[in-house]
Amino acid sequence: MSSSQWGSHTCMPCIRVGLSPKAGSCSGHRVGCVALHHTGTYVVAAGTCLGILDWDTQQVQWVAQVDGDKPHNRFNDGKVDPAGRFVAGTMPEASAPGVWEPGQGSLYALDAERSVVRHLSRLGIPNGLDWSLDHRIFYHVDSLDYAVRAYDYDVATGGIAHPRVLYRLPRDQGMPDGMCMDAAGKLWVACIDGGRVIRLDPETGTRLCTLEMPVSRVTSCSFGGADYTDLYVTSAADGLSPEQLSREPQAGHVFKVTGLGVRGLASRSFAG
């Protein structure tokens, strides 16, 4: 099966990758993302490792390590797909403030048997991700390309194919970062260094509305609350100068936005 190349990244055949982590190789790394597992446990991506965290004991059972040929990579964003796989992307650390080597990122899936498949390579900064309500389309942000892409998705196999750009954020409006979907099938995209969250219609590729935030480094968003009508928005303070921090005293805070008139969707749990 040949891989199909498009733009700056490559759709991979379903190649199983990931080595058993060496003792101590996964400890002390920055956590990129977590997702629900069973009660009291979580699936976690830290550094280039994937594992299962037991909250009560604070112990992690590391199950896989990826990107062994890219020592400066780390996991970034991730989410559980409709079949219970944990899908997460790796990205390079910045070589200088605001500078990343292109084409170093990949997108991986950890399945219920705890094996790892690489689905995409040559990405810039893999970021927010979600699936259409019918599970047939996968949406994914590449921050370095300022793009939200759509792919055909095979929920039975986790296969990803036929990429196309759904929306490209103007470069003077920050970079697209984390993303979630609401119950109407619309996408909410956080714009880091843009100070906003935007709502997109994935069928038309148009921006429906813009939610201005009191901080510039808006990083991600997710619906929550008793009926999933509250939008929780995260932000960052790193990278801001003392002068910027004085103008943005809430930088690094988590915000709850109410009264949007839409509902979100419950998070899925990892099936492994």
Residue that is written with structure tokens 């219920």 in the block: 112
Closest CA to 45 of 59, 64, 71, 58: 64
Cα-to-chain-centroid distance, residue 18: 19
Tokens representing residue 229 in the block: 């009508």
DSSP 94: P
DSSP 143: G
Per-residue CA distances from 254 to 35, 219, 259 (Å): 18, 10, 17
CA 213 to CA 190: how far, in whole Å? 10
Strands of the sheet with 206-212, listed across from one edge = 175-181, 187-192, 196-201, 206-212
- Is 145 noted as a catalytic residue in this protein? no
Catalytic hit among 81, 130, 145, 177 = 177
For 79, the 3-state DSSP assignment is strand
H/E segment holding residue 267: none
CA 178 to CA 224: how far, in whole Å? 15
Tokens representing residue 234 in the block: 């995260």
The residues carrying an active-site annotation are 177
